[in-house]
Amino acid sequence: MFVTLTDVGHRYPGHPLLFENVSARLDPGHVYALTGPSGSGKSTLLGMLAGWIPPVLGNITRVGVERIGWVFQNPHGVARRTALDHVALAFVARGETRSAADARSRELLERFGLGRVADRQFRALSGGEGQRLMLARGIAAAPDLLLVDEPTAQLDLRTAASVSDALGRIATDGTIIVVATHDARTRDACTDVIDLGAFQ
């Protein structure tokens, strides 16, 4: 399974080229930081990787990528459900029994520094905890391609740092992960960098 970008470029109708000549190969087990100044097209390229936006130039090939997951800027959860429930449901949806799902979820929550708040309702989590929970849920769903859009944009520095550190630990064998970010610490936590600023 992999994704290739070959000389990819994009412009919105009536606007100049946002970026051009982006070529890369994305493989499972890596976490790719997609960086670049505000407006350089990071969210646009995530939409292209998802297949929502066809590139104006070049092409994107997805081989063996069937399931695509997203983690957005703001954590969205069910207010009265526990953190554990949010992750366990992803495992249950993949066919695990509830008790196996709970055990795997607790392990995953530990990895994201959320072991302590596993039984807390979503509405009682802090912003950083909520965002780390969204990443844990994204991984639990085991998509082939996980697209993460500015996971620290709404967070203060310290909370953002906790999310960046968690991102450094999410590389996982069966999933290609791409994280759009302007946060240097998030970028440094990733295994690879694609800088759109270099393709303007």
* CB of residue 47 to ligand ATP, shortest distance in Å: 8
Report if residue 42 touches ligand ATP, rule: CB under 6 A: yes
Candidate ranges 32-40, 81-89, 129-137, 170-178; the one touching ligand ATP (CB under 6 A): 32-40
Going through the chain in order, the beta strands assigned E by DSSP cover 2-10, 19-26, 31-35, 57-63, 68-71, 145-149, 176-180, 192-195
Report if residue 43 touches ligand ATP, rule: CB under 6 A: yes
Q: Which is nearer to ligand ATP, 18 or 84 (CB)?
A: 18
β partners of residue 147:
70, 178
Helix (H, G, I), strand (E, B) or coil at 70: strand
In whole angstroms, what is the distance from residue 140 CA to residue 163 CA?
A: 17
Radius of gyration of the chain (CA): 17
Q: Among 16, 38, 95, 99, which residue sits at the site for ligand ATP (rule: CB under 6 A)?
A: 38
Place of tokens 């070049």: 58
Q: Among 36, 75, 128, 143, which residue sits at the site for ligand ATP (rule: CB under 6 A)?
A: 36
Report if residue 55 touches ligand ATP, rule: CB under 6 A: no
Residues between 170 and 199 that touch ligand ATP (CB under 6 A) = 180, 182
Report if residue 41 touches ligand ATP, rule: CB under 6 A: yes
Q: Which is nearer to ligand ATP, 36 or 75 (CB)?
A: 36
Tokens matching residue 131: 């965002």
In whole angstroms, what is the distance from residue 166 CA to residue 183 CA?
A: 14
Place of tokens 């994704």: 3
* CB of residue 187 to ligand ATP, shortest distance in Å: 13
Residue numbers at the binding site for ligand ATP (CB under 6 A): 12, 15, 18, 36, 38-44, 180, 182
